């Protein structure tokens, strides 16, 4: 409709003022809820043609459009804004068109699809996934589905950070304290077991550092001089040199952790098309750094470390290889980016990484550009805010994180308690109930996280997320289940309905309101894709569910004596359920048929 209205505005300017209007001067948006109308034209840019006041100009253009475009039933002018009202007949014709289309996402396709890599998760193999990783995975996976729905060729990727000092910490602690403990012996998942020894290392390292400080040593020197830190550096050097004993331990503990990650990903309902490992890509990055040094793009410090000087770009000097030749995070990111471009020839590579790494990705892009990789302009840091609990910030080193597996189990258990209190699953088998509890629990978790603007910090409150009222996943799921219940009841009553809606049927205000919301679905998906913002889609689903529930409360659906009205309301219910299901699927949320 917006494109049609733009054409009519152009026509009006040409006929009324004998002038041609460029597209950039036409600003059409949805009318604000506190004003009467459906679409609003901003009149101010058009005054150069009318040579009149905003009110007079708006009134003249409004009169022309009403007289020459039957879909417009009326208008009003508020200062410099022309509010246009779409006729109920147009809305009903529009509804017939979407009711006959079984794929509400079909109209979201872009004209120029791109190859886009989305990197998310990026865990370290020294600890289990936690609440912060959950937000990362949910954002990345929903972004993949939204972009793919718009026709892009999207590749889901993960980079496992399986090398470096932080990994050696878990390994050294296991050697010192583990006494041969394995996941099988302990009964712990492998990622949890590695995390246990990471915390033990940090505890002892902190004690050693504090002892040196109390003896008069400055803090930075104390951290570098602690015996455990010296052992860690020696282990990292051995690892990069391929020491057989260190490599065997690394492979063993990494296998434990990666197996644990796979189980968590399965529980969370996310997956990947390609998984990269830092232990492979850092080698490519190291070769790239050495080559750039030889080409005088980088410089070597007296201590033999290799750096990039980015001060001319408003950044700083960036270490790329340590003085002992070991690699840093940036080294592997350089290698991974070059490898991905070689493998996929991507147009864009989106890094779903927290906002504490903003500077890192500015540097990554700048270094690649300096090295001559023009495609680096396609790198995009999807910078999201931190997620915390009501009681405060999580700290991996102190073991105060919220474990992802525990949280998923807790959400399912909470869903079980709330659902059983409602008492609507009595005739379901235990297996069917467990599946419903899983869908509700995960739906609550995913929606609560995804409804927040990803760029903002957020506080996750499990109790609020599971509420069956308000802006929550279970509320939307319950709306969907309610509609399914309507159709089950219709079947029990022997009601069959004709989806063909008579052209002369007039819909009420509530029906038209729902149709207007349904029209926004494809626009919302497109906006969510363009702005990398799943929250737009999440909140759209809530608005649609809320509007339908108000409609359901105010009107009977199966009990109306007018068969055509009943058929319209059933068809409207069906399209709402299909739209909700499609929207929530894009967020990675499953919809139970009954709750």
Average of per-residue pLDDT values in the chain: 93
Give the C-alpha separation, 565 to 92, whole Å: 13
Q: Is the pLDDT of residue 400 over 80?
A: no
pLDDT in tens, 261-320: 999 999 999 999 999 999 999 999 999 999 999 999 999 999 999 999 999 999 999 999
pLDDT in tens, 232-242: 999 999 998 99
Share of the chain above pLDDT 90, in %: 80
Place of tokens 């659902």: 419
pLDDT in tens, 331-382: 999 999 999 999 999 999 999 999 999 999 999 999 999 999 999 999 999 9
Paired sense of beta strands 458-459 and 387-388, if any: parallel
Of 268, 259, 54, 43, the closest CA to residue 142 belongs to 268
Give the C-alpha separation, 22 to 529, whole Å: 27
- Residue 102's pLDDT is what? 76
Neighbours of 7 (CB within 10 A): 12
Please answer whether residues 310 and 363 qualify as being in contact, where contact means their C-beta atoms are separated by less than 8 angstroms. Answer: yes
- pTM higher than the cut 0.85: yes
Paired sense of beta strands 306-309 and 72-78, if any: unpaired
Give the C-alpha separation, 130 to 451, whole Å: 19
pLDDT in tens, 409-424: 999 998 988 888 877 7
CATH of 120-398, picked from 3.40.50.720, 1.10.1520.10, 2.30.30.100, 3.40.50.620, is 3.40.50.620
Highest-pLDDT range among 41-55, 488-502, 550-564? 41-55
Please answer whether residues 428 and 400 qualify as being in contact, where contact means their C-beta atoms are separated by less than 8 angstroms. Answer: no
Q: Nearest 5 degrees, angle CA 371-CA 377-CA 380?
A: 120
CATH of domain 404-586: 1.10.730.10
Of 376, 462, 458, the closest CA to residue 413 belongs to 462
Which of the residue ranges 54-58, 126-130, 392-396, 498-502 would you say has the lowest mean pLDDT?
392-396
Q: Is the pLDDT of residue 231 over 60?
A: yes
Phi and psi at residue 190, to the nearest 5° = -60, -40
Q: What is the largest CA-CA distance in the chain?
A: 90
Class of domain 2-86: alpha beta
Q: What separation in angstroms does the CA of 590 have from each of 346, 442, 477, 544?
A: 30, 8, 8, 17
pLDDT in tens, 416-470: 888 888 777 778 888 999 999 999 999 999 999 999 999 999 988 888 888 888 8
- Residue 504's pLDDT is what? 77
Please answer whether residues 188 and 196 qualify as being in contact, where contact means their C-beta atoms are separated by less than 8 angstroms. Answer: yes
Give the C-alpha separation, 85 to 70, whole Å: 11
Of 554, 479, 476, the closest CA to residue 513 belongs to 554
Q: Nearest 5 degrees, angle CA 440-CA 443-CA 444?
A: 85
Whether the CA torsion 262, 267, 270, 273 is positive or negative: it is positive
Tokens at 407, concatenated: 């949280």
Average pLDDT over residues 89-115: 89
DSSP state of 557: S
Tokens at 66, concatenated: 């009403």
Give the C-alpha separation, 467 to 206, whole Å: 42
Q: Nearest 5 degrees, angle CA 483-CA 489-CA 492?
A: 150
Domains in the chain: boundaries: 2-86, 120-398, 404-586
Tokens at 348, concatenated: 């864009």
User: What confidence tier does 391 reach under pLDDT thresholds 50, 70, 90?
Assistant: low
Of 328, 205, 196, the closest CA to residue 256 belongs to 196
- Residue 419's pLDDT is what? 81
Sequence-separated (6 or more) residues with CB below 8 Å from residue 446? 138, 473, 587, 588, 589
pLDDT in tens, 492-516: 888 877 667 777 788 888 999 999 9
Q: Is the pLDDT of residue 399 over 60?
A: no
Of 355, 364, 330, 538, the closest CA to residue 456 belongs to 355
Q: Is the pLDDT of residue 18 over 90?
A: yes
Tokens at 555, concatenated: 């009107």
- Residue 370's pLDDT is what? 95
Please answer whether residues 587 and 538 qualify as being in contact, where contact means their C-beta atoms are separated by less than 8 angstroms. Answer: yes
DSSP secondary structure of 131-170: HHHHHHHHHHHHHHHHHHHTT-EEEEEEEEB--SHHHHHH
Give the C-alpha separation, 201 to 181, whole Å: 16
What is the dihedral angle through the alpha carbons of 431, 434, 439, 445, rounded to the nearest 10 degrees?
-160
Please answer whether residues 475 and 467 qualify as being in contact, where contact means their C-beta atoms are separated by less than 8 angstroms. Answer: yes
- Residue 396's pLDDT is what? 42
Place of tokens 């009519």: 8
DSSP state of 267: H
- Residue 392's pLDDT is what? 52
Give the C-alpha separation, 323 to 304, whole Å: 5
Which of the residue ranges 30-39, 138-147, 444-453 would you say has the lowest mean pLDDT?
30-39
DSSP state of 468: S
Average pLDDT over residues 216-243: 94
Q: What separation in angstroms does the CA of 273 have from each of 139, 141, 276, 381?
A: 16, 11, 10, 20
Place of tokens 């998923």: 408
Give the C-alpha separation, 580 to 474, whole Å: 12
Give the C-alpha separation, 232 to 54, whole Å: 72
Q: What separation in angstroms does the CA of 132 have from each of 129, 389, 530?
A: 8, 10, 24
Give the C-alpha separation, 251 to 129, whole Å: 19
DSSP state of 313: G
Q: Is the pLDDT of residue 229 over 70?
A: yes
Give the C-alpha separation, 331 to 354, whole Å: 19
Q: Which helix (H) or strand (E) holds 443?
A: helix 430-450
Q: What separation in angstroms does the CA of 531 have from each of 12, 146, 147, 526?
A: 32, 11, 10, 8
């Amino acid at each position: 409709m917006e494109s049609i209205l733009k054409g009519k505005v152009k026509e009006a300017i040409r006929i009324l003022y004998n002038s041609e209007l460029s597209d950039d001067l036409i600003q059409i948006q949805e009318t604000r809820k506190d004003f009467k109308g459906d679409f609003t034209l901003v009149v101010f840019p058009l005054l150069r043609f009318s040579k009149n006041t905003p009110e007079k100009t708006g009134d003249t253009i409004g009169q022309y459009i009403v007289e020459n475009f039957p879909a417009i039933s009326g208008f009003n002018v508020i200062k410099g804004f022309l509010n246009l009202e779409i006729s109920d007949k147009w809305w009903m014709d529009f509804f017939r068109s979407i009711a006959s289309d079984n794929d509400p996402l079909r109209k979201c396709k872009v004209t120029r699809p791109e190859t886009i890599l989305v990197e998310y998760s990026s865990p370290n193999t020294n600890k289990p996934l936690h609440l912060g990783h959950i937000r990362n995975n949910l954002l990345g996976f929903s972004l993949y589905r939204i972009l793919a729905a718009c026709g892009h060729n999207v590749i889901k990727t993960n980079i496992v950070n399986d090398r470096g000092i932080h990994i050696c910490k878990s390994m050294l602690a296991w050697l010192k304290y583990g006494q041969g403990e394995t996941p099988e012996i302990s009964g712990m998942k492998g990622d949890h077991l590695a995390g246990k020894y990471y915390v033990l290392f940090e505890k002892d390292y902190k004690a050693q550092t504090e002892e040196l400080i109390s003896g008069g040593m400055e803090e930075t020197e104390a951290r570098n001089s602690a015996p455990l830190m010296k052992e860690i550096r020696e282990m990292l050097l051995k690892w990069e040199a391929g020491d057989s004993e260190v490599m065997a331990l690394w492979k063993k503990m990494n296998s434990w952790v990666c197996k644990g990650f796979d189980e968590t990903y399965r529980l969370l309902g996310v997956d990947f098309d390609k998984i990269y490992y830092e232990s492979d890509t850092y080698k490519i990055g190291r070769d790239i750094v050495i080559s750039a040094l030889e080409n005088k793009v980088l410089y070597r410090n007296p201590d033999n470390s290799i750096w990039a000087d980015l001060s001319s770009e408003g950044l700083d000097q960036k270490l790329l290889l340590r003085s002992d030749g070991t690699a840093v995070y940036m080294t592997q990111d350089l290698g991974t980016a070059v490898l991905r471009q070689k493998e996929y020839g991507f147009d864009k590579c989106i890094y779903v990484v927290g906002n504490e790494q903003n500077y890192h990705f500015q540097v990554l892009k700048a270094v690649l550009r300096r090295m001559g990789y023009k495609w680096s302009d396609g790198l995009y840091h999807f910078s999201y805010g931190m997620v915390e609990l009501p009681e405060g910030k999580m700290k991996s080193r102190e073991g105060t994180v919220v474990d992802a597996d525990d949280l998923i189990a807790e959400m399912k258990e909470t869903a079980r308690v709330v659902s059983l209190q409602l008492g609507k699953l009595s005739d379901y088998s235990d297996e069917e109930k467990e599946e419903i509890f899983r869908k509700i629990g995960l739906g609550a978790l995913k929606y609560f996280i995804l409804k927040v603007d990803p760029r903002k910090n957020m506080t996750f409150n499990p109790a609020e997320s599971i509420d069956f009222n308000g802006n929550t996943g279970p509320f939307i799921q319950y709306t969907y289940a309610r509609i399914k219940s309507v159709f089950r009841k219709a079947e029990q009553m022997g009601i069959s309905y004709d989806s063909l809606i008579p052209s002369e049927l007039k819909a009420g205000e509530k029906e038209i309101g729902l149709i207007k919301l349904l029209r926004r679905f494809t626009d919302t998906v497109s906006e969510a894709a363009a702005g990398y913002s799943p929250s737009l889609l999440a909140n759209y689903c809530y608005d649609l569910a809320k509007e339908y529930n108000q409609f359901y409360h105010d009107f009977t659906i199966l009990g109306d004596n007018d068969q055509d009205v009943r058929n319209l309301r059933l068809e409207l219910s069906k399209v709402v359920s299909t739209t909700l299901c499609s929207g929530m699927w894009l967020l990675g949320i499953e919809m139970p048929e009954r709750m």
